[in-house]
């Protein structure tokens, strides 16, 4: 199975996901054939994406870039484009389709069978997910909040959720709502969190949820701990899922995920927690 890995490389988490999946595959002797790494930023656009591209090259992976920002600016500069569409949203939707047609052409040249979206910050086009079986990592439980990881965590805190998790789902035209392939859960209540919830509630009473988010952002201690614990689990969850495809234990047929000896969606909570406990590099 030839894999296409798509990432924007916006933050260190994108690097960690790629590096750790490759490392764990080598550790387990899994033949993980990442045919191409695609990044929608060119070199020089941002230090974080440059670091991501350096990492991919250092791992011996083929990298291809196409700047989504430059492509979007080009569309905005064309007066005929502005005149054809009634709103900027309609213009962006049309641009998204056109941009991903270029991406499809790039990926097709590498003969990929499966795409992995791991820190890819663009909404994909229906054509791309129709053409390729595409796995998306989303930092919430099935049926949980949608949006970016920041939006997900603030929603969890606003709802005072006691549990969250992460899932891998098959990307479809419906954002964050494709068929679930695998998931894991973890608590965000109990001894580890009691003090953090207390401080959060005090801040919320004083500033409101929006005011607290504006004042403290990602540094808010409860927010930061939920993010840290989620990131720890996203790595083994993504690896275990990609591993199952690489070994032929999972496959996509006619838009559905099927298993050979496995019955998706997979609850990988025990496997993820076991891998964290066994890894000497992990800290609770």
d(CA 25, CA 214) in angstroms, rounded, equals: 40
Domain ranges in the chain?
A: 2-143+164-187+230-278
- Cα–Cα distances in angstroms (integers) from residue 252 to residues 109, 131, 244, in the given order: 21, 12, 12
Tens of pLDDT, residue by residue over 18-57, are 999 999 999 999 999 999 999 999 999 999 999 999 999 9
Residue 80: which pLDDT band, with cuts at 50, 70 and 90? Answer: low
Pairing of strands 114-117, 133-138: parallel
Strand partners for 165: 185
Other Cβ atoms closer than 10 A to 24? 20
d(CA 94, CA 80) in angstroms, rounded, equals: 13
Whether cis (ω within 30° of 0) applies to the bond prior to 265 is yes
174 has pLDDT over 80: no
Pairing of strands 256-259, 250-253: antiparallel
DSSP 46: -
Tens of pLDDT, residue by residue over 52-79, are 999 999 999 999 999 999 999 888 887 6
Please state the CATH superfamily assignment of the domain spanning residues 2-143+164-187+230-278 in this structure.
Answer: Formyl transferase, N-terminal domain (3.40.50.170)
Supply the pTM of this predicted model.
Answer: 0.88
Q: Please give the pLDDT value at position 178.
A: 81
């Amino acid at each position: 199975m030839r894999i296409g890995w798509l990432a924007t490389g916006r933050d260190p988490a994108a690097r960690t996901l790629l590096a750790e999946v490759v490392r764990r595959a080598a550790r387990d002797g899994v033949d993980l054939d990442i045919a191409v790494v695609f990044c929608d930023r060119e070199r020089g656009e941002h230090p974080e994406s440059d670091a991501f591209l350096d990492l991919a090259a250092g791992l011996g992976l083929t990298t291809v870039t196409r700047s989504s920002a430059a492509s979007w600016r080009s569309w905005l500069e064309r007066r005929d484009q502005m005149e054809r569409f009634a709103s900027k949203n309609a213009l962006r939707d049309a641009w998204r389709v056109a941009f991903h047609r270029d991406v499809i052409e790039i990926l097709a040249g590498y003969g990929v069978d499966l795409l992995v979206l791991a820190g890819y910050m663009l909404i994909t086009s229906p054509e791309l997910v129709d053409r390729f079986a595409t796995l998306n990592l989303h930092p919430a439980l099935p049926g949980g909040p949608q949006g970016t990881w920041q939006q997900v965590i603030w929603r969890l805190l606003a709802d005072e959720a006691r549990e969250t998790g992460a899932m891998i789902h098959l990307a479809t035209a419906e954002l964050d709502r494709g068929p679930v392939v695998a998931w894991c859960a973890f608590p965000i209540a109990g001894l580890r969190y009691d003090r953090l919830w207390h401080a959060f509630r005090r801040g919320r009473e004083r500033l409101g949820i929006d005011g607290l988010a504006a004042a403290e952002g990602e540094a808010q201690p409860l927010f930061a701990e939920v993010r840290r614990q989620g990131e720890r689990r996203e790595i083994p969850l993504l690896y275990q899922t990609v591993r199952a495809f690489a070994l032929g234990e999972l496959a996509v047929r006619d838009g559905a995920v099927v298993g050979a000896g496995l019955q998706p969606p997979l609850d990988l909570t025990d496997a993820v927690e076991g891998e964290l406990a066994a890894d000497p590099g992990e800290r609770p």
